[in-house]
Amino acid sequence: MPAEPGPARRPLAGVASQVGVAKPDPTIVVDDVTRTFGGLVAVQVDHLEFQRGCITGLIGPNGAGKTTLFNLLTGFDQPNNGRWTFDGRPLGKLSPHKVARLGVVRTFQLTKALSRLTVLDNMMLGAADQRGESMWRAVVPGMWRRQEEETRVRAEDLLARFKLDTKRADFAGTLSGGQRKLLEMARALMSRPKVIMLDEPMAGVNPALTQSLLGHVKDLREEGMTVIFVEHDMDVVRDISDWVVVMAAGRVIAESPPESISDNKEVVDAYLGAHHDAPLTIEDEDRALAEAEAAIRAEEGERDDMVQSGGKEPL
């Protein structure tokens, strides 16, 4: 396993923990992006930068807008307004395959493996710019056969790296949930991306495979890739993140290194509610229990009255 990055490899050291803070070398920059669904504001991000070559964890309660932001950045959805760029190039209105061709790829909460194709075939489909997909080139094998063999070699190398090589001839539908997550990550690497966005990569994964997945994510950073991932497990976030962005109700409410994110009151409020810092006393608990028991007795009494009155509401 590659060594943890030392001080010289921590480009975010010294960056202030504040929303919208500038990064030393941002690769994706988001400005004034809004997405609404009817009256619901799903995403409203004023300014956000993702540092090149780092792992950024994107966290927040359910419904915070994390996956919607992923969808916008990768072309699977379009905003009401706003602008975002990748290495200075606007990505707005580009289709997902064009965004991927530029070097920004993603995975999904629910894996998208083609269950009736083999694991190797799924990998082969992840390669970009395959000459054999052109109709006129397809009839001339000499124009694509060599590239296809190179693609096959890369696919098999990645399967070996992710310990899926023994499954290469199996149908993808026979894989376990954790193995499908590994396959999806491996397939995303077939196009040699610069940025990979992982939507809950650990969700539903057997604990035995979690450490393997974490190791692969760290390896991506060591190879110079930018990783942005959505995750709910704070232990995972603290383990692999260089930087953490917190969303709530569609907005970015905090940014900081992982070791200090839980010290932010807004973050704790977003997860636990605004009055989490007033611990209940024994008297408070007794009073709450008594009130609950009284409410139950009152409800039972109302039901008894309705039974005695033949199902009618008592006068």
Strands (E), the chain: 26-37, 40-51, 55-59, 81-86, 89-90, 104-106, 195-199, 226-230, 243-248, 251-256
Residue 42 falls inside a structural domain: yes
Same domain, 188 and 236: yes
Same domain, 290 and 259: no
Same domain, 66 and 102: yes
Q: What single letter denotes the amino acid at residue 253?
A: I
The whole-number pLDDT of residue 117 equals: 93
CB neighbours of residue 27 within 10 Å: 21
**Residues above pLDDT 90, as percent of the chain:** 53
Same domain, 292 and 251: no
Q: Residues 207-239: pLDDT tens digits?
A: 878 888 898 999 999 999 999 999 988 889 999
The least confident of 54-58, 162-166, 219-223, 290-294 is 290-294
Q: Which residue range forms the structural domain that includes residue 307?
A: 279-315
- Indicate whether 94 pLDDT > 80: yes
Average pLDDT score over residue span 281-302: 61
Same domain, 302 and 244: no
Same domain, 246 and 283: no
Same domain, 202 and 268: yes
Please report the DSSP string for 167-207 in residue order: GTTSBGGGS-HHHHHHHHHHHHGGG--SEEEEESTTTT--H
Which has the higher per-residue pLDDT, 133 or 64?
64
Which has the higher per-residue pLDDT, 278 or 265?
265
- Indicate whether 276 pLDDT > 50: no
The whole-number pLDDT of residue 258 equals: 93
The whole-number pLDDT of residue 148 equals: 78
Q: Residues 24-44: pLDDT tens digits?
A: 999 999 999 999 998 899 999
Which has the higher per-residue pLDDT, 312 or 28?
28
Same domain, 286 and 212: no
Same domain, 186 and 61: yes
Q: Residues 107-127: pLDDT tens digits?
A: 988 888 888 999 999 998 887
Same domain, 309 and 225: no
The whole-number pLDDT of residue 299 equals: 61
- Indicate whether 88 pLDDT > 70: yes
Same domain, 186 and 305: no
Residue 145 falls inside a structural domain: no
The whole-number pLDDT of residue 277 equals: 44
